[in-house]
Amino acid sequence: MNEILILMKSEWVLLLIIIIFLFIKVGSTEWKNENLLYLANILLLINFILGFVLNTDGIIFDEMFKTNSLICLEKNILNLGTLLISLQSYHWLKNHKHVAEFYMLLLSTLLGMFFMISSNNLLMFYLGLELSTIPLAALANFDLHKRQSSEAAFKLIISSALSSGLLLFGISLLYGTSGTLNLSEISQHLNGSNLQLFAFILLLAGFAFKISAVPFHLWTADVYEGSPVAVTSYLSVISKGAVLFVFVSVLYTVFKSLGIAWQNMLILLSVLTMIIGNLFAIRQNNIKRLLAYSSIAQVGFILAGISGCSQLGTTSVIYFILIYVFSNLGAFGVVSIISSTTGKETISDYKGLYKSNPFLSWTITIALFSLAGIPPTAGFFGKFFLIMSAAQNGNYLFISIAALNMVISLYYYLILVKAIFMDKNEQAIEKIHVPILPKIAMLICTAGIIIVGLYGEIYEYIFKLSFGY
């Protein structure tokens, strides 16, 4: 009993917070939005801090649920991202009618991701995955009166239903060939028969849908554009990051024996994802769509890192996701505050932003430089390790394509920076008063972008924890 309490402590804390919000919602006292938001942020901060204590390894519930220090680290990264998003969405939620519901849905998706990361059984994995996607569709519809928001939500739920259908068909065939749902037992039953390869391809397609790798990326840009900015940043950072954590561990531990088969698939997916993500990003006008395609391109780089098949692969992926949390949330924080005060979301609206809002301009510029991978920022080190991991196979054509793609991506990031700093605009965005909570979030993101790259201990710490191939 005591063991269950300690090993599942992140889940228990989250569940407690959800229940607190449920009671606030059904209770008779009317809460003011500001107080509710402060309470939510404090609770999330406590949740983040509690993630660092009482971390023990163990397997419970008949090998369904496992946890170890790497999994705790991954959960901490997700907790941090959720806290930052909650701080940033203060301005948008302040005038929203359904704050308590927002946090209930948001935290239940986070709970689903925790179960998914900790799962050691395909049933547990599937339950976690669905718990993390179904409430997200409801969240995407949270601007209840906007036409685009409901369109985005419908696209999200249909594509995630299709992807979980593919995933499930793969799981059912895997069960048929191995006779068990336990992940560590499945890996012993893999023999590379055609049916198992087919099951693996279906699983890969399901995963690729969730992380929006290229042949399965079509929903991404539309959903990102239509959803509220807080939900967009959650989708692009947290939900993608969680699925990537699971993806790496499933590929490296369960499907290790099919390695030759999936390595080439990953390289192909990665090349397609990088090229198409970058080329489509160039022609975007809406900044949320631009960031959507840029996040697709980043997934291409992550897949390149995964294709390395070594301990460096795991480490670089987790390290890059940590950096990606800071850099993408830095960019989305600025977009969020501008969108919720002025409603402006196109690149031409950002012209001359520096004149009126120097703080916001510097924040988004540093974040974009980190996304592009320019040396002093952390993004450079993240991409460096990913490419180094990919280079271990000695496939130099592939590395050259990845390097060329970094140049292409620089082009559209710099267009935005140029618009902010150099272009003149008659109707520039006026001076925006940034509330204290979003300001803290932006400062944390900027500090994270600079520190995580230069402070080498973090990388070494992740390397020490992560598993090899």
Partner 1 sequence: MNQITITHILFVSTALFFIGMYGLFTRRNMITMLMSVELILNSVNINFVAFNKYLYPQNLDGIFFTIFIITIAAAEAAVAISIIINLYRSHQSIDVDDASEMKY
Three-class secondary structure of residue 129 per DSSP: helix
Taking the complex as a whole, the smallest distance from the CB of residue 286 to partner 1 amounts, in Å, to 9
- Residue 180 touches partner 1, criterion: CB under 8 A: yes
Of 446, 297, 279, which Cα lies nearest the Cα of 359?
446
Identified binder of partner 1 from the candidate list 161, 282, 404, 447, rule CB under 8 A:
161
56 binds partner 1 (CB under 8 A): no
Strand partners, 58: 67
CB of 213 to partner 1, least distance (A): 19
Q: Which is nearer to partner 1, 176 or 375 (CB)?
A: 176
Q: Does 275 contact partner 1 by CB under 8 A? A: no
Tell whether residue 33 is a contact of partner 1 (CB under 8 A).
no
Taking CB under 8 A as the criterion, the residue among 56, 148, 193, 264 binding partner 1 is 148
Contact between 152 and partner 1 by CB under 8 A: the answer reads: yes
**Which region, judged by CB under 8 A, interacts with partner 1, from 122-130, 309-317, 377-385, 407-415?**
122-130
Closer of 75 and 288 to partner 1 (Cβ) = 288
**Using CA atoms, how far apart are residues 328 and 341, in angstroms rounded to an integer?**
20
Distance (Å) of CA 465 to CA 30, 300, 311, 401: 46, 24, 10, 31
| 173 near partner 1, rule: CB under 8 A | yes
Q: Which is nearer to partner 1, 198 or 362 (CB)?
A: 198
> Applying CB under 8 A, does 168 fall inside the site for partner 1?
yes
Cβ proximity of 310 and 351 under 8 Å: no
Between 70 and 109, how does the x/- string for binding to partner 1 read (CB under 8 A)?
----------------------------------------
Interaction of residue 153 with partner 1, rule CB under 8 A: yes
Q: Which two tokens stand for residue 94?
A: 């302040």
CB of residue 360 to partner 1, shortest distance in Å: 26
Distance CA 426, CA 351 (A): 9
Task: Please pick, from the candidates 15, 22, 45, 138, the single residue that binds partner 1 as defined by CB under 8 A.
Answer: 138
Q: Please, what's the b/e burial string for 105-141 (b: 16 or more CB within 10 A of its CB; e: otherwise)?
A: bbbbbbbbbbbbbbbbbbebbbbbbbbbbbbbbbbbb
Q: How many CB atoms lie within 10 A of CB 298?
A: 27
Chosen residue from 169, 384, 461, 469 binding partner 1 by CB under 8 A: 169
Residue 27 interacting with partner 1 (CB under 8 A): no
Counting beta carbons within 10 angstroms of the beta carbon of residue 376, is it exposed (0 to 12), middle (13 to 18) or buried (19 or more)?
middle
The span of 123-131, 307-315, 329-337, 457-465 binding partner 1 (CB under 8 A) equals 123-131
Cα separations in angstroms, 293 against 110, 247, 384, 408, 445: 24, 21, 21, 13, 21
Which stretch, 110-118, 156-164, 232-240, 381-389, contacts partner 1 (CB under 8 A)? Answer: 156-164
SS3 430: coil
Is the CB of 178 or the CB of 446 nearer to partner 1? 178
Among 70, 134, 290, 378, binds partner 1 (CB under 8 A): 134
CA distances 424 to 2, 40, 341, 415, 419, Å, are 63, 40, 21, 14, 8
**Does residue number 141 form part of the binding site for partner 1 (CB under 8 A)?**
yes
For partner 1, the closer of residues 181 and 242 by Cβ is 181
Residues 204-233 that bind partner 1 (CB under 8 A): 221-222, 225-226
Residue number with CB closer to partner 1 (281 or 445)? 281
- For the CA atoms of 255, 117, 311, 59, what is the dihedral angle to 10 degrees? -90
Which of 366, 341, 343, 339 minimizes the C-alpha distance to 421?
366
- CB 152 → partner 1: shortest distance, Å? 7
In this structure, what token pair is assigned to residue 259? 């390695």
Angstrom distance (rounded) from CA 52 to CA 55: 7
- Longest distance between any two alpha carbons in the chain, whole Å: 68
Complex with partner 1: residue 195 or 404, whichever CB lies closer = 195
Q: Under 8 Å CB-to-CB from 158, ≥6 apart: which residues?
A: none
Residues that bind partner 1 (CB under 8 A): 122-123, 126-127, 130, 134-135, 137-138, 141, 144-148, 150-154, 157-158, 161-162, 165, 168-169, 171-173, 175-176, 179-181, 221-222, 225-226, 280, 283
